[in-house]
Amino acid sequence: MGKVNRLVCVKCGKTYPFGAYITCPACGLEGILDVEYDYDLARRALTEEPLRVRSQANMFRYLEILPVDEVPSQMLRVGWTPLYRFDRLSEAVGHSQLYLKDETVNPSGSLKDRASAVGIAVALREQRSTVACASTGNAASSLAVLAASAGLSSYIFVPEDIPLAKLYQIATCATKVFRVRGTYEDAFDVATGAIARWNWFNRNCAINPYLVEGKKTCSLEIYEQLGYRAPDWIVVSVGDGCIISGQYKAFKELQILGEIPHLPRLLAVQAEGASPIVDAFNSSGEVSPVRARTIADSIRVGKPRNWRKALRALKNTQGVAVKVSDDEILDSISLLGHRCGIFAEPAGAAGFAGFLKARKAGIISADETVVVIITGSGLKDPSSVEPKIQIVEIEASEDAVEQHLS
C-alpha cells in the first residue's frame, strides 16, 4: 500500500514491507511490529485546515494514516465519540481543565471497536471470510458485533470468568463462542493455536500491528476536539498495553506532521491486583507475569502482550504509572455516574481513579489540561457495582415512599 512505508520491529528494529508479517520473524511473538506511513503524503491531508472541513464523523476520517484503503461499506459506525467537560465533575474534584473522552458510546460499548474496525477492514481487503480472537471480553464482543455487521464469520475465545453481559453480547452476534476453562492467558494460547491451524484472520491486538492503529484514532479525535492542540496529560487504564501504545502513536504522528510542538504525558493506570506494567515501569523495566486479581476484568491481565510498546510510550512521554484499588475504582464509577451520568465498567473508570490519585499526589497539577479516557460501558458488567449502590426496596404504596424521604 503506497501510504504505508514499512513495518518496524519494536524489539530488534528490523524493517519489513507492509503486509509481509504479523510479528517479526526474527523475534517471534515478542517482535511486535510498528506501522510507519509516508508522512509527507499525510501532511497534505491531515493538518488543521483540511481536517476542519472534513465531514466524516467516524474514526476513518484519518484514512491517510490508517492501514486501510477502503472503509467497509456495511459496518456499524465507530469513533468520533464525544469529549466532555462537566462543571459538576470539575467542582467535585477541584480540577477545571478536566475532560472525559466517552468511549462507552461505541457500537459494542468500548474503545476496542476502534481496533476491531481496522481488523475487519484489513480482513476484507485480504478477502478473508473468518476472523477470530481471544479476549477478556471487550475485544471479543467488539469483533463479534462488527464482524456480524460487515458479514464476516467470527470465532471467539473467552476465559471462564468473563462477565455474563459480555458473554451474552458475544453469543448473540458471533458465529461461535468458545468459553475456555481457564484464565485469559489460557484462552489466548488456545486461540493462538487454533488461529494458526485453521488460518483465520487474527484480531489479537497485541500481536496484530494494524489494530493499535485503530486505537490511536481516539487521540487524533481528542486533538481535534480540544481545538487542534494536545492536552498536558492523557490518562488511560492499561491491560495488555495496546490502548496506551495507540495514544502514544497518535501524538507521535501529530508531532511528525508538525501539528503539535510536544507530546502530552501519559498516565498509565492499572489495578493493584494486576499491575505488571506499572511495576515494571517503576522498577527494573522488565515485566514479570503475575496472577491477576481485580474486579476490573478488562484489565485483569497477568501477562501483558504489548508491554514493550507500553513502556516505550511511557518513557518517551515522561509518563507516570500508578495503581488503584478495586475500592477506588468503584468510587470512581459512582462519581462518574452521579456527576456526569456516565456508566463506566470497572476498567473504564480505573483511569479516572488513577487521575484522582495522581492529582492528590501532586503528579498532575491543578492548572494542567487532562483528558481521561473512559474506555468501556458499565452495561458490560453491571453486577460489579453491587457493593456500592443503594437501592430502596419498598412496598407498592406512596406511604412507603414518604417514609424513605423523611
Ligand X SMILES: *Cc1c(COP(=O)(O)O)cnc(C)c1O
Closest CB 329 distance from ligand X, rounded Å: 11
9 binds, among ligand X, Zn ion, none (CB under 5 to 8 A by kind): Zn ion
Is 11 one of the binding residues for Zn ion (CB under 5 A)?
A: yes
Alpha-helix residue ranges (DSSP H) falling in 126-163: 138-150
Is 243 one of the binding residues for ligand X (CB under 6 A)?
A: yes
Using CB under 5 A, which residues numbered 21 to 60 contact Zn ion? 24, 26-27, 31
Among 23, 58, 108, 110, binds ligand X (CB under 6 A): 110
Q: Which helix (H) or strand (E) holds 193?
A: helix 184-198
Distance CA 40, CA 331 (A): 46
Is 295 one of the binding residues for ligand X (CB under 6 A)?
A: no
DSSP string, 69-118: SS--SS--------EE--HHHHHHHT-SSEEEEEGGGSTTSBTHHHHHHH
27 binds, among ligand X, Zn ion, none (CB under 5 to 8 A by kind): Zn ion
Backbone angles phi, psi at 364, to 5 degrees: -105, 130
Which of these ranges, 17-25, 56-64, 162-170, 341-349, lies near ligand X under the rule CB under 6 A? 341-349
Q: Which residue is nearest to ligand X (CB)?
A: 376
Among 1, 12, 366, 389, binds Zn ion (CB under 5 A): 12
Is 170 one of the binding residues for ligand X (CB under 6 A)?
A: no
Closest CB 228 distance from ligand X, rounded Å: 26
Distance CA 110, CA 103 (A): 6
Using CB under 5 A, which residues numbered 156 to 215 contact Zn ion? none
Using CB under 6 A, which residues numbered 40 to 99 contact ligand X? none
Give the distance, in angstroms, between the CA of residue 217 and the centroid of all CA atoms in the same chain: 11
Nearer to ligand X, 46 or 146 (CB): 146
Which of these ranges, 27-35, 174-182, 235-243, 391-399, lies near ligand X under the rule CB under 6 A? 235-243
3-state class of 9 per DSSP? strand
Residues 6+ apart with CB under 8 A from 28: none
Cα 285 to Cα 49, 79, 280, 311, 389, distances in angstroms: 41, 33, 5, 8, 39
Give the residues lining the site for Zn ion (CB under 5 A): 9, 11-12, 24, 26-27, 31
Give the residues lining the site for ligand X (CB under 6 A): 110, 112, 138, 237-243, 298-299, 345, 347-348, 375-376
